[in-house]
């Protein structure tokens, strides 16, 4: 198994990727900046800089068992999609366009609240949940915590630019996570746009899009005018269909923390993405090292909701502390048990914080993939 990349390792040790590449060369390994390193290599490089790699396994964190579902209880659920790409290639513009153009009838006044995720309805009436967290940093942070939230990645590339380092990184991340990609070739309204050049450069990375005879769907779009965006969403839905995404809505909710912030007046505001089950007001939950009870729940339209089913993002009030993006949450029925788990997790966290040696802590990325 391969874990972090050269550049991620450099960041953890406060070194430059060039330092790491040079060190690797010293031990006969020729690596690129985005290359993932195996455990043995990681340990060797870290040692050169006086670090010790500490592996934190899921066992260390007081896991909560999750039951297997009976196939007959499974129902179709919307895909969860992340947009990734190089700086300025149009991630925010695309997400904004999708958000503001979604005027689903019956829903009060569009999406009004930024909660890190939102759900939109495509022309065909099917829903897509978008993770609206800043690009692939959030994706990486979540993956580093072992969370696999995204079902499909939209890789956005500006047609007036080249396939850039962060584009390659995004592709690497998606591939490493086994997440299918749909390519959005953006800014085609611009006079200098050259989508064919982008496709050619992708082919140079062994990524063949459909009109080059490959398996990857791509769509030329303008996040500015909206051209092609509806088609892009339909392609995402097609990809989702092939994944046959299902979840059991009729059980206690489990899912992932998307964001957690402290609001002076309201306390901890936590965005949760339900993966399976249905989250209800009044539910007691553990999210990472924190305990709480769902006091009030809002959706992205700032509407109060009483329940949230699979692939539904909601912001809740009622947590006693801040969870981390990517933490798993579970609805608990036994308060004593819940308190015991949280105490244990908090104690483990304190102990880790107390260790004095230079450590880099790596979750076993890919454990749950």
Residue in the structure block whose two tokens are 């999210």: 287
Strands 181-186, 217-220: pairing kind: parallel
Give least dist CB 318 to Mg ion, A.
31
The answer on whether 199 is annotated among ligand-binding residues is no
Q: Is the Cβ of residue 148 or residue 219 nearer to ligand GTP in the bound state? A: 219
Question: Could you tell me which residues are beta bridge partners of residue 154?
Answer: 83, 182
**Best CA proximity match to 300, nearest among 131, 126, 139:** 131
- How many binding residues for Mg ion (CB under 5 A)? 2
Least distance to ligand GTP, CB of residue 131, Å:
14
Query: Is 298 annotated as a binding-site member?
Result: no
Q: Which residues bind ligand GTP (CB under 6 A)?
A: 85, 87-93, 135, 186-187, 189-190, 222-224
**With contact defined as beta carbons under 8 Å apart, do 286 and 330 qualify?**
yes
Shortest Cβ distance from residue 337 to ligand GTP (Å)?
42
Nearer to ligand GTP, 219 or 222 (CB): 222
Angle at Cα 334 formed by Cα 332 and Cα 337, nearest 5°?
95
Q: Which of 34, 92, 203, 227 binds Mg ion (CB under 5 A)?
A: 92
Phi and psi, residue 262, nearest 5°: -105, 120
Q: Which is nearer to ligand GTP, 129 or 186 (CB)?
A: 186
Is the separation of the CB atoms in 257 and 286 below 8 Å? no
Q: Cα–chain-centroid distance for residue 217? A: 21
Q: Binding residue per annotation — 189?
A: yes
Q: Which residues, 6+ apart, have CB-to-CB distance to 267 below 8 Å?
A: 317, 318, 319
> Rounded to the nearest whole angstrom, what is the least distance from the CB of residue 92 to Mg ion in the complex?
3
Is residue 188 a known part of a binding site? Answer: yes
93 binds, among Mg ion, ligand GTP, none (CB under 5 to 8 A by kind): ligand GTP
Q: Which residues sit at the interface with Mg ion, rule CB under 5 A?
A: 91-92
Q: Which residues are annotated as a binding site?
A: 85-92, 132-136, 186-189
């Amino acid at each position: 198994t391969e874990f972090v990349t050269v550049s991620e390792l450099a960041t953890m040790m406060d070194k430059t990727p060039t330092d790491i590449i040079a060190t690797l060369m010293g031990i006969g390994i020729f690596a690129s900046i985005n290359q993932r390193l195996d455990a043995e290599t990681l340990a060797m490089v870290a040692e050169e800089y006086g670090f010790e790699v500490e592996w934190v396994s899921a066992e260390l964190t007081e896991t909560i068992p999750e039951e297997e579902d009976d196939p007959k209880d499974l129902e179709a659920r919307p895909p969860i999609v992340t947009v990734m790409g190089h700086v300025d290639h149009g991630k925010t513009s695309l997400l904004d366009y999708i958000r503001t153009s979604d005027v689903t009838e019956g829903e009060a006044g569009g999406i009004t609240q930024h909660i890190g995720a939102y759900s939109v309805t495509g022309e065909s009436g099917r829903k897509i949940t978008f993770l609206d967290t800043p690009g692939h940093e959030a994706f990486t942070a979540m993956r580093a915590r072992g969370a696999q939230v995204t079902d499909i990645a939209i890789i956005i590339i500006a047609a007036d630019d080249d396939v850039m380092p962060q584009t390659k990184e995004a592709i690497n991340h998606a591939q490493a996570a086994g997440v299918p990609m749909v390519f959005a070739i953006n800014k085609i309204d611009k006079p200098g746009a050259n989508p064919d050049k982008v496709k050619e450069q992708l082919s140079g990375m062994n990524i063949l899009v459909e009109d080059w005879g490959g398996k990857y769907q791509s769509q030329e779009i303008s996040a500015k005018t909206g051209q092609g965006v509806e088609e892009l969403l339909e392609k995402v839905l097609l990809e989702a269909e092939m994944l046959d995404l299902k979840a059991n809505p009729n059980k206690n909710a489990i899912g992932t923390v998307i964001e957690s912030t402290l609001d002076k007046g309201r306390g901890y505001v936590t965005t949760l993405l339900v993966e399976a089950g249905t989250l209800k007001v009044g539910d007691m939950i553990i999210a990472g090292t924190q305990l709480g009870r769902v006091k009030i729940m809002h959706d992205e339209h700032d509407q109060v909701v009483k329940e949230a089913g699979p692939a539904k993002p909601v912001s809740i009030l009622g947590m006693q502390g801040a969870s981390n993006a990517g933490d798993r949450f579970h609805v608990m029925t036994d308060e004593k048990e819940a308190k015991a788990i949280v105490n244990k997790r908090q104690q483990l966290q304190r102990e880790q914080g107390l260790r004095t040696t230079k450590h880099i802590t790596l979750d076993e990325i890919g454990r749950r993939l």
